[in-house]
Amino acid sequence: MRTTDGEQTEAGAAVRKATEEDLARLAEIRNTPALFAEYLADAAAGKAFFLVYLRDRRIVAFARLKMPTSESVEAGKKRPLISDLWVAEDARGRGTGTDFIHRIEGMARGLGYRDLYLGVDPCADSRAFALYRRLGYKAIQAQPYRTTGVFCDASGTGRVRKEYLRLDMVKDLSAPHPGDTAPD
């Protein structure tokens, strides 16, 4: 389907909240089961939406839409954030990431937000960086900065703190997009 602003949306695709029943399939897509359990707990606590993208009823991608918390608002961060977007390897390069991001933007818009943040390592994740720029995300800093984050280790259950390069990006959502809805 081609929408009025010229973007493709995927036929047979849907986005919904992740559930316990999705955990086995999610671990096939990426071996980070402990992280997925945390994401479900965060979602239950209202801190973030943990979303899965389905094509022909099969999960092929996941992402989180993190909501501003009272702490983040106090820290001056009032916008929602797309976090940990991941497309199954065999589903990449076919518009999945593009369509998923458009749908998440529609949700954020449906929830009343005017803009949306994300962060990317433009060197290590150059493909994601190119995708975000193509979709209208603008870099906030002139250069990426070094920061640290907690990642899953190779076993998928342990944690390692790693330094990485990050560039924050933001998109103005004020231009309407057809089919925007808040998640169920």
Interacting residues toward ligand COA by CB under 6 A: 85-87, 92-98, 120, 125, 127-128, 130-131
Least separation in angstroms between residue 131's CB and ligand COA is: 5
Cβ closest to ligand COA, residue 58 vs residue 74: 58
- Map the chain to HEC letters: CECCCCCECCCCEEEEECCHHHHHHHHHHCCCHHHHHHHHHHHHCCCEEEEEEEECCEEEEEEEEECCCHHHHHCCCCCCEEEEEEECHHHCCCCHHHHHHHHHHHHHHHCCCCEEEEEECCCCCHHHHHHHHHCCCEECCCCCEEEEEEEECCCCCCEEEEEEEEEEEEEECCCCCCCCCCCC
Least separation in angstroms between residue 47's CB and ligand COA is: 19
Cβ closest to ligand COA, residue 16 vs residue 30: 30
Cβ closest to ligand COA, residue 94 vs residue 159: 94
Cβ closest to ligand COA, residue 131 vs residue 184: 131
Least separation in angstroms between residue 100's CB and ligand COA is: 7
Residue nearest to ligand COA (CB): 97
Check if the beta carbon of residue 73 is closer than 8 Å to that of residue 59. Answer: no
Least separation in angstroms between residue 70's CB and ligand COA is: 26
Least separation in angstroms between residue 168's CB and ligand COA is: 11
Tokens read off for 47: 């801190």
Q: What are the angstrom distances between the C-alpha of 5 and each of 16, 165, 179?
A: 24, 33, 12
Least separation in angstroms between residue 21's CB and ligand COA is: 22
Cβ closest to ligand COA, residue 80 vs residue 97: 97
Cβ closest to ligand COA, residue 42 vs residue 121: 121
